[in-house]
A and B are shown apart, each in its own frame.
Chain A
Amino acid sequence: MGSIFNLQQVVNGLQLGSIYALIALGYTMVYGIVRLINFAHGDFFMIGAYAAYGAFFLFNAVLGGSGLPMAGIALVLAMAASGGVALLTNRLAYKPLRYKPKLSSLITAIGVSMLIEYLFSAIPFIGPSFRAFPDILPSRPIQIGPNATISTHALIDIGVAAVLMIGLTVLVRHTALGKAMRAVSQDKDAAKLMGIDVEKVIAWTFLIGGSFAGAAGLLAGMTYPRIFPFMGILPGLKAFIAAVLGGIGNIPGAVLGAYIMGVAETFATAYNSLLGEGIAFAILIVVLLVRPRGILGEKSADKI
């Protein structure tokens, strides 16, 4: 039992949870504002990883390949690329369907997801096969206990996730945009009557949510240095479950759900390596049966 429930496994779970959390935030924000489950969100994560990969080759000569400046530029580019694609997706695919039946947007989201995945596989310099993600910040283990180490990658994953999440909280609580976001999520029509440009708020939401997924893409690329166009599917699904677990539409809930998922998955895998992959889906079923609105979710009737 000692090798299952211990400090090292908690660290492992937190690291995994940080990446889920960054993806889950985008899911939950978009759902909170437009009541859309954006299934293409996992692909924004993949785009972030490829943008960081591209940044490495663009700036390799100038910055010498690895180190903090390189990682900084990769982070900015990853967030910009994913945010930009999210914005574009909203403008081209979701906006025309805004006041159509919800099912149309949901199916469109699945279509957009497949379009991005197969488009990336078809582009010759990306292609469908695995690519080795460059070692932008070489990782080394730091001893934190008799039987536990934390890698610098894990610290970065947890740190970047924490900083971005705090930034988002400040934005939502203390800025005019945040107030507008909260207003739109409560009542779109009333917000419009109060003079809020609803479409602008939605666009900002996609931009921020997408850029968080992009940051997660860079972190995942560094931590698990193997990227391919379909890498977003499984993390996307799990982050979605995390958002449902925490209460979809609720920002702190998504983070809480993601960390619970990360730790639960790690413990389950350690207990029995075949169980781990299934635990996420088991959690989803239990949540939907026992508490459909999630841990921190508000009471609301319609969920897709």
Chain B
Amino acid sequence: MKRTLSIVALAMLVALALVSCAPKGPAEIVIGGVGPVSGEAATFGKSTQEGCELAVEEWNAKGGVLGQQIKLVYEDDKGDAAEGAAVWTKLIQQDKVVAIVGTVMSKVSLAGAPISEQYGVPMISPTSTNPSVTFADGKLREFVFRACFIDPFQGTVGAKFAFDDLGARKAAAIFDVGNDYTKGLSEFFRDTFIALGGEIVAFEAHATGATDFKAQLTKIVQAKPDVVYISDYYNDVALIAKQLRELGFTGPLVGGDGWDSPDLVKLGGEAVENGFFTNHYSKDDTRPEVQDFVKKYTAKFGAAPDALATLAYDAMNIMLDAISRAGSTEGVKIRDALKATDFAAVSGRTMFDEQHNPVKAAAIIEIKGGQQVYRTTVAP
């Protein structure tokens, strides 16, 4: 028994030696990609993978990065945190990736982020919005970045749009007190609107699941705001809009990406006209970066890119740009280059703030004639 064991051990040692002595292939830089290609969010994973592939293909056609070709190793996290942690470890230890672009869901990115941090391998999540992905327990994760803006940021952009584009000077806001997303949006809206020199004439909460908002809305309407900020999800937005119109408010309504559903118009009808909401990107944006990307993506994959594909494409480009500026594949150097990012991405010119969240423009979508129409892009 002992002998067999030692033979096996010897064989393994030899195999290991052979592997490490194996002649190196053509020099290439390995980048990891992670997304939920199967499972409940499979379309998200597929879009993300396609965005990454397109970006890598373009860089390789231009000669790669640091004079070497880029190899993308794309892994499926199945939308599962444990799977995500396993995939992260595999990419870093086995595939020796220099950086990772992933993943979609916050809960999975939260499993991957500590591993990236531990090994010093920089990562960018294209779409995880949970603030603690990059900044947890009052501590910054040095190697973790994201390509999408976090939720509250939309409140800031909404306030800017209301103040600058709509010319509003008095605003009111209503939000769901049981939901951090809507509460955060409204608070950021309020703070930014006041900082810009505007006045908040009413700031009202409502209970989760409420259907009658008239008491709060009467207060809002009688305070005579120029604009009402509604940070709720689409089905509450529709009810609130209807009741606001019934109470005689005709001014513009502004909200966040929780509005982004075809049901908004179905439920709200005419009441949501003259409504505007912030979103990550609009494929109808006329900027050449956007139109160029939409054309290339559609030609390659046969369908227009969604927000996920776009953000993954941006994340990969930001990462490769950082590696090229770092002049090295060393984790610390890539990280420092990432911190100094100033990149003209499809979803807008991107820089990172001190918590590694992107500072970039948001698209404003208008509800017009029952359709979502691209209105403008607002930089923070």
CA distance A270 to B246 in the complex (A): 17
User: Is A265 engaged at the interface, CB distance under 8 Å to the other chain?
Assistant: yes
- Residues in B with CB closer than 8 Å to A274 are 177, 205, 207
Contact A265 to B239, CB < 8 A, known contacts A141-B247, A225-B267? no
CA distance A135 to B218 in the complex (A): 22
Contact of B218 among A132, A143, A220, A270 (CB under 8 A): A270
User: Is B242 engaged at the interface, CB distance under 8 Å to the other chain?
Assistant: yes
Closest-by-CB residue of B relative to A274 is B205
CA distance A16 to B214 in the complex (A): 9
In the A-B complex, the 6 residue pairs with the closest CB atoms: A269-B215, A224-B211, A12-B214, A277-B207, A151-B246, A132-B267
By the criterion of a CB under 8 Å from any partner CB, how many residues of chain B are at the interface? 28
- Residues in A with CB closer than 8 Å to B216 are 269-270, 273
Contact of A266 among B214, B222, B238, B242 (CB under 8 A): B214
Binary contact track A139-172/B, C-beta < 8 Å → 1, others 0: 1010100010101011000000000000000000
In the complex, the answer to whether A132 meets B263 with C-beta atoms within 8 Å is yes
From A12, A13, A135, A274, residue with most partner B Cβ within 10 Å: A12
CA distance A111 to B2 in the complex (A): 67
CA distance A266 to B218 in the complex (A): 10
Q: Give the interface of B toward A (CB within 8 A).
A: 177, 204-207, 209-212, 214-216, 218-219, 222-223, 235, 238-239, 242, 245-248, 263, 266-267, 269
Closest-by-CB residue of B relative to A16 is B212
- Residues in A with CB closer than 8 Å to B205 are 273-274
Closest-by-CB residue of B relative to A266 is B215
In the complex, the answer to whether B210 meets A226 with C-beta atoms within 8 Å is no
- Residues in B with CB closer than 8 Å to A270 are 215-216, 218-219
- Residues in B with CB closer than 8 Å to A2 are 222
CA distance A10 to B146 in the complex (A): 49
- Shortest CB–CB separation between residue A235 and chain B, in angstroms? 8
In the complex, the answer to whether B267 meets A3 with C-beta atoms within 8 Å is no
Contact of A8 among B211, B223, B242, B247 (CB under 8 A): B247
- Shortest CB–CB separation between residue A292 and chain B, in angstroms? 28
Given contacts A141-B246, A224-B239, 4 further A-B contacts (CB under 8 A): A12-B215, A132-B238, A149-B248, A266-B214
Closest-by-CB residue of A relative to B246 is A151
- Shortest CB–CB separation between residue B64 and chain A, in angstroms? 48
In the complex, the answer to whether A139 meets B246 with C-beta atoms within 8 Å is yes
Binary contact track A3-40/B, C-beta < 8 Å → 1, others 0: 11010110011011000000000000000000000000
- Residues in B with CB closer than 8 Å to A273 are 177, 204-206, 215-216
